[in-house]
Structure 1
């Protein structure tokens, strides 16, 4: 049995991933951005061990979430599922909400939480249209942030060879972000994360890779560029004031 944290799991894909892990008998902690959302989440997934609270658009709340996660005990797996779409606006401190939630939050949680055995970062097929211009992070597109998520997963894999760190494209699925016209189901969108989180299949126990439909795919070239990965870690360390431990 694995102990798993799934961020952004109040509803949609994150809740689907969490529920499937609960159904398999794992010890699952979910996450919501507010106390009100946490109460709803607990009702939707009564088998969850706990629901942690923190608004990932807030630097202070993200750090507090890391502290709360550490205080609850070490996780075997952390799935960085939380994300927002285009048009999310700016945070209270003036940052791009896209950047704060989709990139800075998973970086901060990775850097400040006790190191797990497995890390999974949610990317998207739209990362292929993302820009690798790190000087333009103040106004990123959704595709830009998903490119950075995939590169972050690869960078962590290099930095921490004892951790399995991978990125996942869940596909275009029926969620609040994906819309009702999306062709994929929640089951299809959740399958790869659940597999990477729990399987001892040799195909799942690799690191620094990019997956879709439980199969490895080649990501955009920047994702596998070690110089870009290192530059990204440096930019994120400056933006948050937190270095990723060696």
Structure 2
């Protein structure tokens, strides 16, 4: 049976390449977009594959849940969740306020948590699931949280969420062999609207590790932070 993949922020950049990669491997892909129009525009360049547009604004918890429930009602359970959408607020730490930090946390952390809460219990129950959180080395303690404050703190938080939810899976398994994994990955510095034109990596290269994690066989990484398919330090 074809597995269902939900990719947030799937209409451009790395997310669009993840969508294309998963389609090429025969998955049914639900492209999560802020608005349907942007999804339909992106779809024009995609030939073939089982692709569906899901309007899912990530700035509102109720809207996320409503969109998720509708998507599952129409297309069936989500087997693979790729939390790719993110925002990069480069406001100087001296000028950051509660509102700007809250906005970054909502899109980069709270929205992924809401989607995990919606999908993970059923994944555990069915005994199969893949959750991939797209993070950044700017959120890595090992690399000194070098990014702008809002971005670095929110990406460090999504890393913490990844570790916690992987532990939740292990606890729920309770010794049973269930094929559910939760991982984080950094695409590296990628030539996208967010990454800028000086970035050395193509969007396809940035998407590779997420696609690999989403499609791996049982026994692959779990509770890890990866770059170029290799574990790195948190």
TM-score between both structures, scaled by the size of structure 2: 0.81
Question: What RMSD over aligned residues (CA atoms) do the two structures have, in Å?
Answer: 2.5
For the residues of structure 2 that align with 1:99 and 1:140, how far apart are their CA atoms? 11
Asked if the contact 1:120–1:165 (Cα under 8 Å) also holds between the matched residues in 2, the reply is yes
| 2:187 is equivalent to residue 170 of structure 1 | yes
Partner SS, residue 113 of structure 1: helix
Uncovered stretches (5+) of structure 2, i.e. residues with no partner: 124-128, 171-177
1:4-153 correspondence runs (5 A): 4-46=5-47, 47-71=49-73, 72-87=75-90, 96-113=102-119, 115-116=122-123, 117-128=129-140, 129-130=144-145, 141-153=150-162
Asked if the contact 2:33–2:39 (Cα under 8 Å) also holds between the matched residues in 1, the reply is yes
Cα deviation digits, residues 123-161 of structure 1 (max 9, x gap): 100012449xxxxxxx96101111111111111111112
| 2:212 is equivalent to residue 195 of structure 1 | yes
Partner SS, residue 167 of structure 1: strand
Partner SS, residue 104 of structure 1: helix
Give the corresponding residue for 2:168: 159
Runs of at least 4 residues off by over 6 Å: 88-91
Give the corresponding residue for 1:207: 222
For the residues of structure 2 that align with 1:90 and 1:55, how far apart are their CA atoms? 23
TM-score between both structures, scaled by the size of structure 1: 0.77
Provide closer, same or farther for how the CA distance between residues 48 and 31 of structure 1 changes in structure 2, counting only shifts above 3 A. Answer: farther
Asked if the contact 1:130–1:146 (Cα under 8 Å) also holds between the matched residues in 2, the reply is no
Cα deviation digits, residues 69-117 of structure 1 (max 9, x gap): 33231122110001011158999x9872211100000001111236331
Asked if the contact 1:10–1:37 (Cα under 8 Å) also holds between the matched residues in 2, the reply is yes
For the residues of structure 2 that align with 1:181 and 1:215, how far apart are their CA atoms? 24
